[in-house]
Amino acid sequence: MPDIESLLKEKRTFKPDREFTRQANWNKKQTAEYRAMADKNPERFWAKMAKENVSWFTPWKKVLDWKPPFAKWFVGGKLNVSYNCVDRHLEGENAWRRNKAAIIWEGEPGDTRTITYGELHREICKFANVMKSQGVKKGDRVALYMPMIPELSIAILACTRIGAVHSVVFGGFSAEALRDRINDAGAKLVVTADGGYRRGAPYPLKPAVDEALEGTPSVTSVVTVKRTGEPTRMQAGRDHWWHELTDEASAVCEPAKLDAEHPLFILYTSGTTGKPKGILHTTGGYLTHVTTTAKVLFDLKDSDTFWCTADIGWVTGHSYVVYGILANGATTLMYEGVPTHPGPDRFWDIIERWGVTIFYTAPTAIRTFVRLGDEHPKKHDLSSLRLLGTVGEPINPEAWMWYHRIIGKKKCPIVDTWWQTETGGIMITPLPSSVDTKPGSATNPFPGIDAAIFSEEGNEVDPPNGGYLVIREPWPGMLRGIWGDPKRFKETYWSKYKNIYFTGDGAHRDQDSYFWIMGRVDDVMNISGHRIGTMEVESALVSHTKVAESAVVGRPDSLTGTAIVAFVTPKSGETVDDVLKEELRTHVTKQIGAIAKPKEIRFTDALPKTRSGKIMRRLLRDIASGRSVGDTTTLEDFSVVAKLREGDEA
Ligand code: PRX
């Protein structure tokens, strides 16, 4: 395991800044107390967090009901997420927040909007009433396919207000991918926009919805936000403009009193089969988890302007652009476009202009900035920053050091946060006031999270050995299932070890018990912090008329972490050339979206298989990354390897 070797050489440690610790929401002493409480009795700890950080209409009767693998948290409790994110900031001693910025939004062309908590409340109520008028009821699913504009946050919160279940589909996914997700969830309503801005130009979204809706019997209406003003086809009876409906809607809508286990959202993520999984999260536990983690490890205060650069189409955006930040009454910044438009300093310009205090981004972005050169951040005053975070993939120590020196000016703590779509909120992370950080390590589990590293046989392994990262005890933000597929839920997460959650990641701990995440151990790739299943790309490739078979693997990439390499066997008689390569890349983009487009396509007469017919992925991974080919004793046809390697040289 070469990754373990290289990471173990990392000896640098960074102590929490004294000034920072003094003012932290949890100082050293409190952190130690909470940790001790959580270690002794995690339920007691989480109950305390739920009481302190979340407002309930009705208190729960039981903290946890655990019938593995099904958990219920805060049983009998009633609450509303939009009430927690907005209404409670307009009442009592918090009422001064009415005219405080809840969302600061910046469009890529440079247009901006600042929405106060008072305004956000009105907009949410109006859109909740619009949804009701479109026949959406408690428990109905609503698909959101939108650019990063405030209406996306408004629509999400409006769903929570009436108990509709949102399913946000990242705007970069294709019409086909959208259709599959709409059908799997059985969505009644689709909310979209005419388009958005990216890399200096408008791009359309509504046409993809029109295409997807050719095969989605459950959808009865579509609401479209006018963002770009480009000509947009509207289908009478089905399609409505957001502004027309909301103009007429009432701004009064009581928040529904929902059960703690009421479904909050479905978010699709890649797995080891071709079909994405609809990860289901529910209300009370999820909100407790994201609100608590945001308050403690981002040290969120009323005075903070928090910027998480993730798109709301991913779980990071759900938990830490919208829910965790607004529930704490802080200001969340949303940006529509790419980091390099109109120039390579766009992010630093945004931080300077808005006085961003906390910045949370992905290692891929940091590596891009390292390449672009230090002169761009150095042109800007970044002194408002007081804490930095990373998420989505392992960060290489040199990128961490750059972030620390050039962006954090050596004074900002860095929280490297490990978590997943399935975990709902952050699981392994330094607490900035009290944990020494090491570049490249997510350090320790959050209090109340029982993470461990297991051997294949299910024994905990001793440092510094590597193994599988597992979570031994249930936690409030955990997924409650895969939408409509309890069997797959059990098989994917709970079958490797009995009653223990299997993350799909490899990791090891060092002598100080720090966790070092080594990446996926299954057939899931992590491209720029986004999960793509090898099987999904393979299914897309074989759906092309000229392809007989394909195998997809990831290989290390210095920018995106992993790059997609596709080995393709064309049907006999097909000409293999660069034209076909391009055709296949475009085909995958059409089937899934640009993020799944293979970086490299290699044609081969046959794929290496074991005698039992299984594709030898490990071997393909070695070939794709130029490593020496490992053990091939089970190979059915040795000549295949030689041919694949010839392709290497070509
Ligand atoms: O492999 C881990 C990696 O991202 C996976 C989860 O992907 P997703 O569900 O899309 O959620 C991403 C954002 C929460 C994990 O299984 N990952 C996430 N954070 C880290 C990480 N790997 C290393 N270090 C991290 N901080």
Chain segment 417-437, per-residue pLDDT in tens = 999 999 999 999 999 999 999
Tell whether 546 is covered by a domain.
yes
Residue positions counted in the chain: 650
> What is the model's pLDDT at position 4?
41
> What is the model's pLDDT at position 160?
98
Asked if 535 and 485 sit in the same domain, the reply is no
Tell whether 232 is covered by a domain.
no
Asked if 414 and 547 sit in the same domain, the reply is no
Separation CA 290–CA 308 (nearest Å): 14
> What's the rounded mean pLDDT across residues 127-134?
98
Asked if 282 and 373 sit in the same domain, the reply is yes
Taking the centre of ligand 1 as the mean of its atom positions, its distance from the CA of residue 420, in whole angstroms, is 5
* Residue 420 in contact with ligand 1 by CB distance below 6 A: yes
State the pLDDT confidence band at 641, using cuts at 50, 70 and 90. confident
> What is the model's pLDDT at position 650?
40
- Alpha carbon separation from 477 to 36, 126, 238, 480, 500 (Å, rounded): 21, 29, 36, 9, 15
Answer for the pair 186, 172: CB distance below 8 angstroms, yes or no. Answer: no
Tell whether 516 is covered by a domain.
no
Separation CA 124–CA 228 (nearest Å): 22
> What is the model's pLDDT at position 464?
85
Answer for the pair 310, 528: CB distance below 8 angstroms, yes or no. Answer: no
Half-sphere CA count of 642, side-chain side, radius 13 A: 4
Report the percent of the chain where pLDDT is more than 90.
86
Which of these, 136, 40, 122, lies nearest to 86 by C-alpha position? 122
Torsion of CA 228, 229, 232, 237, to 10 degrees: 110
Tell whether 236 is covered by a domain.
no
* Residue 520 in contact with ligand 1 by CB distance below 6 A: yes
Q: What is the pTM of this model?
A: 0.94
- Alpha carbon separation from 576 to 142, 362, 569 (Å, rounded): 43, 37, 10
Separation CA 324–CA 322 (nearest Å): 6
| Tokens read off for 593 | 């979206």
Whether 638 has a pLDDT exceeding 90, the answer reads no
Report the percent of the chain where pLDDT is more than 70.
96
Answer for the pair 355, 305: CB distance below 8 angstroms, yes or no. Answer: yes
Q: Say which CATH number the domain at 580 has.
A: 3.30.300.30
Q: Say which CATH number the domain at 137 has.
A: 3.40.50.12780
- Please count the structural domains in the chain: 2
> What's the rounded mean pLDDT across residues 507-514?
93
Q: Give nearest CA residue, ligand 1 atom 22.
A: 393
State the pLDDT confidence band at 611, using cuts at 50, 70 and 90. confident
* Residue 505 in contact with ligand 1 by CB distance below 6 A: yes
State the pLDDT confidence band at 335, using cuts at 50, 70 and 90. very high
Whether 379 has a pLDDT exceeding 80, the answer reads yes
Asked if 154 and 88 sit in the same domain, the reply is yes
Taking the centre of ligand 1 as the mean of its atom positions, its distance from the CA of residue 379, in whole angstroms, is 32
Asked if 500 and 604 sit in the same domain, the reply is no
Q: Which of 507, 534, 549 is the last residue of a domain?
A: 507
Closest ligand 1 atom to 503 CA = 16
State the pLDDT confidence band at 631, using cuts at 50, 70 and 90. low
Taking the centre of ligand 1 as the mean of its atom positions, its distance from the CA of residue 419, in whole angstroms, is 5
* Residue 170 in contact with ligand 1 by CB distance below 6 A: no
Write down the mean pLDDT value for the chain: 94
* Residue 554 in contact with ligand 1 by CB distance below 6 A: no
Whether 6 has a pLDDT exceeding 60, the answer reads no
> What's the rounded mean pLDDT across residues 585-598?
95
Which of these, 481, 480, 457, lies nearest to 467 by C-alpha position? 457
State the pLDDT confidence band at 608, using cuts at 50, 70 and 90. confident
In this structure, the number of other CB atoms found within 10 A of the CB of residue 283 comes to: 26
> What's the rounded mean pLDDT across residues 118-134?
98
* Residue 134 in contact with ligand 1 by CB distance below 6 A: no
pLDDT in tens, 450-494: 999 999 999 999 888 899 999 999 999 999 999 999 999 999 999
Range of the domain at 333: 4-214+244-507
pLDDT in tens, 147-181: 999 999 999 999 999 999 999 999 999 999 999 99
Tell whether 319 is covered by a domain.
yes
Asked if 493 and 532 sit in the same domain, the reply is no
Taking the centre of ligand 1 as the mean of its atom positions, its distance from the CA of residue 318, in whole angstroms, is 15
Asked if 535 and 501 sit in the same domain, the reply is no
In this structure, the number of other CB atoms found within 10 A of the CB of residue 568 comes to: 25
In this structure, the number of other CB atoms found within 10 A of the CB of residue 201 comes to: 11
Tell whether 225 is covered by a domain.
no
477: helix, coil or strand?
Answer: coil
Which positions ≥6 away from 630 have C-beta within 8 Å? 618, 619, 622
Whether 321 has a pLDDT exceeding 50, the answer reads yes
Q: Give nearest CA residue, ligand 1 atom 13.
A: 392
> What's the rounded mean pLDDT across residues 632-640?
65
Taking the centre of ligand 1 as the mean of its atom positions, its distance from the CA of residue 394, in whole angstroms, is 8
Asked if 474 and 555 sit in the same domain, the reply is no
Asked if 478 and 539 sit in the same domain, the reply is no
State the pLDDT confidence band at 593, using cuts at 50, 70 and 90. very high
DSSP letter assigned to residue 14: B
DSSP letter assigned to residue 432: T
Please compute Rg for the chain using Cα positions: 24
* Residue 525 in contact with ligand 1 by CB distance below 6 A: no
52: helix, coil or strand?
Answer: helix
Asked if 409 and 498 sit in the same domain, the reply is yes
* Residue 421 in contact with ligand 1 by CB distance below 6 A: yes
Taking the centre of ligand 1 as the mean of its atom positions, its distance from the CA of residue 421, in whole angstroms, is 8
Answer for the pair 433, 295: CB distance below 8 angstroms, yes or no. Answer: no
Tell whether 350 is covered by a domain.
yes
pLDDT in tens, 104-116: 999 999 999 999 9
Tell whether 537 is covered by a domain.
yes
Closest ligand 1 atom to 519 CA = 1
> What's the rounded mean pLDDT across residues 9-19?
88
Answer for the pair 222, 190: CB distance below 8 angstroms, yes or no. Answer: yes
* Residue 392 in contact with ligand 1 by CB distance below 6 A: yes
> What is the model's pLDDT at position 572?
86
The dihedral of CA 630, 632, 633, 634: what is its sign?
positive
Asked if 452 and 548 sit in the same domain, the reply is no
> What is the model's pLDDT at position 630?
65
> What is the model's pLDDT at position 230?
97
Q: Which of 507, 533, 561 is the last residue of a domain?
A: 507
SS (H, E, C) 308-358: ECCCCCCHHHHHHHHHHHHHCCCEEEEECCCCCCCCCCHHHHHHHHHCCCE
Whether 2 has a pLDDT exceeding 50, the answer reads no
State the pLDDT confidence band at 5, using cuts at 50, 70 and 90. very low
15: helix, coil or strand?
Answer: coil
DSSP letter assigned to residue 445: B
Taking the centre of ligand 1 as the mean of its atom positions, its distance from the CA of residue 149, in whole angstroms, is 25
In this structure, the number of other CB atoms found within 10 A of the CB of residue 539 comes to: 18
Asked if 538 and 606 sit in the same domain, the reply is yes
Q: Which of 456, 478, 507 is the last residue of a domain?
A: 507
Whether 49 has a pLDDT exceeding 80, the answer reads yes
Taking the centre of ligand 1 as the mean of its atom positions, its distance from the CA of residue 417, in whole angstroms, is 8
Q: Give nearest CA residue, ligand 1 atom 14.
A: 420
Closest ligand 1 atom to 310 CA = 13
Separation CA 82–CA 99 (nearest Å): 17
pLDDT in tens, 557-575: 999 999 999 999 999 889 8
| Tokens read off for 440 | 């490249």
> What's the rounded mean pLDDT across residues 195-210?
97
Select the more confidently predicted residue: 272 or 205: 205
Separation CA 128–CA 138 (nearest Å): 11
> What's the rounded mean pLDDT across residues 238-253?
98
Separation CA 153–CA 321 (nearest Å): 9
Q: Give nearest CA residue, ligand 1 atom 21.
A: 393
Taking the centre of ligand 1 as the mean of its atom positions, its distance from the CA of residue 317, in whole angstroms, is 13
Q: Give nearest CA residue, ligand 1 atom 15.
A: 420
Answer for the pair 594, 588: CB distance below 8 angstroms, yes or no. Answer: no
Among 526, 562, 595, name the best residue to mutate to test ligand 1's pocket (greatest count of ligand atoms within 8 A of Cβ): 526
* Residue 417 in contact with ligand 1 by CB distance below 6 A: yes
* Residue 316 in contact with ligand 1 by CB distance below 6 A: yes
Whether 48 has a pLDDT exceeding 60, the answer reads yes
